[in-house]
Structure 1
């Protein structure tokens, strides 16, 4: 009775043979077999299995590439044909593992051999997809399926690694220099724009100031003319000579010169003839002004 009862653990499939020939499979749980005639040949795990790989490949430009990978695989399904392939394709698990690892390594080496060293690092995903496309059909014939392949580490010879670090450092320095140049250009451009705007504002302010100064001078002259007109009319009513106004203006001008001039000496012709000549000129100017006013 004990020889007829067989317990199959969860996650495994039992393979039964009769006189060395495949007979049937046993599913997880309690199973029975014919004593002496039927034999439990092996128990096959249908759980996922993992293995770590380390191998080397050579690129098309003769650079050595070192891979560290993790392989995840499992029995494809629980169908009877699949279990038969798993049970009888290889002598033992060691031979299966050797064939599986060498097949994957060969597929990766063939792919890397067509690529340049500088392209390998960015083709990690392409390498995995290439391996799956290449060996899925082969593993299916063995009854297995490749679940995942992770390339955990890709390295090169020390000399190549140093040169790659130098290239990266040079690229970073170049990018930093370009950024600094752009920042300096923007700063100088903004400074030039600010200076130009300041010049425009100063020019506009000077223009307005000049205009205001001109208007002030014009108003001053207008008020002076009005004052002189009123004074001249009052002096005419009083039967006084209007040339006195011009003489007063002349003396006021001399006083202004003396108060505001930076010099120490004012040269004046104070002779009687000169004073008489000046008075005649001022009177003639006053007369000319009166004539022009009468015409208007």
Structure 2
């Protein structure tokens, strides 16, 4: 035979369980870095801040648990067509935090997905207005434009933009291959230009050297001509002095006639010996007497010049 269960014991157990359940629903501890959105009878009521809070069981309920720490949203790699119809692959990282949990909960269904989509579409718009070279070299400008465009939308969703960084931006594989070929062609062209410029500089230097050599040679010939002219002037001056002496000799009846004959004799023999057609030089039979007369005349001339000086 089973003994009847005491109803008071069962009531006590139910009461204890009800109290525990009620306390669990009424007493809430919100951890640091979170804020909870409370609904009362299905309608937004208040925000629970970190710490201990009391709720009315059954009437109040926790609708959303919002993380207020800075969140990181990374966009996937996407292909974007630039202004000059080049394809680039770009991705970005967005840092933001929830500053208004109420707006973040009720103004949009999924703010994390919204941030990712907003960043992706804005990147497409900004890159589409730039050329390939601009998109690859102006990361700071891209970051500033995208951040400016998405900041207002995030504020309307109860979010605050912390920072935005362009994580990666690169040409597509086909475009990168074409750019490498173009870079190689440009290097070859620059090398050809450098070689041609070097040859031109060498030709200029060679021509300059030849010019300077020609000038020096002409200056040398000019100096030689001046020296030759000076020698001729001095020789003519000597002949003039000799003729003065001859004239004086003729006037005094001395040996001037012999000197003139000797001079003519020497000139004639010299011209005969220097002629290209002359193969044989004829000497007079009395060349010894003639030479003696020449020597005597030259001696007289030398003494006369010394007396004049």
TM bin (shorter chain): 0.5 to 0.7
With over 3 angstroms needed to count, the CA separation of the structure-2 counterparts of 1:43 and 1:60, relative to structure 1, is closer
After superposition, residues 186-201 of structure 1 pair within 5 angstroms as: 186-201=201-216
Superposed CA RMSD in Å reads 4.3
Specify the alignment match of 1:281 in structure 2. none
Check whether the contact 2:104–2:111 (CA below 8 A) recurs between aligned residues. Answer: no
Gapped regions of structure 2 (runs ≥ 5): 1-22, 287-309
Runs of at least 4 residues of structure 1 off by over 6 A?
Answer: 254-264
Q: Distance in 1 between matches of 2:38 and 2:84?
A: 54
Specify the alignment match of 1:42 in structure 2. 65
With over 3 angstroms needed to count, the CA separation of the structure-2 counterparts of 1:35 and 1:106, relative to structure 1, is closer
Q: Distance in 2 between matches of 1:116 and 1:248?
A: 102
Q: Distance in 2 between matches of 1:87 and 1:51?
A: 21
Check whether the contact 1:4–1:35 (CA below 8 A) recurs between aligned residues. Answer: yes
Partner of 2:123, secondary structure, is helix
Check whether the contact 1:124–1:151 (CA below 8 A) recurs between aligned residues. Answer: no
Specify the alignment match of 1:105 in structure 2. 120
Specify the alignment match of 1:277 in structure 2. none
Count of residue correspondences: 260
Offset at 1:4?
5.3
The alignment status of 1:247 with 2:261, answered yes or no, reads yes
Q: Distance in 1 between matches of 2:82 and 2:37?
A: 48
After superposition, residues 1-296 of structure 1 pair within 5 angstroms as: 6=29, 8-9=31-32, 12-15=33-36, 17=38, 19=40, 21-26=44-49, 31-34=51-54, 36=56, 42-51=65-74, 53-59=76-82, 64-67=87-90, 69-75=91-97, 78=99, 82-89=100-107, 95-113=110-128, 120-122=135-137, 124-146=139-161, 147-158=163-174, 160-227=175-242, 229-230=244-245, 233=248, 239-250=253-264, 252-253=266-267, 265-268=279-282, 270=284
Offset at 1:216?
1.0
Q: Distance in 2 between matches of 1:140 and 1:156?
A: 34
Gapped regions of structure 1 (runs ≥ 5): 273-296
Instruction: Give the TM-score normalised by the residue count of structure 1.
Output: 0.66
Instruction: Give the TM-score normalised by the residue count of structure 2.
Output: 0.64
Larger radius of gyration between Structure 1 and Structure 2: 2
Q: Distance in 2 between matches of 1:72 and 1:104?
A: 8
Specify the alignment match of 1:283 in structure 2. none
Check whether the contact 2:83–2:130 (CA below 8 A) recurs between aligned residues. Answer: yes
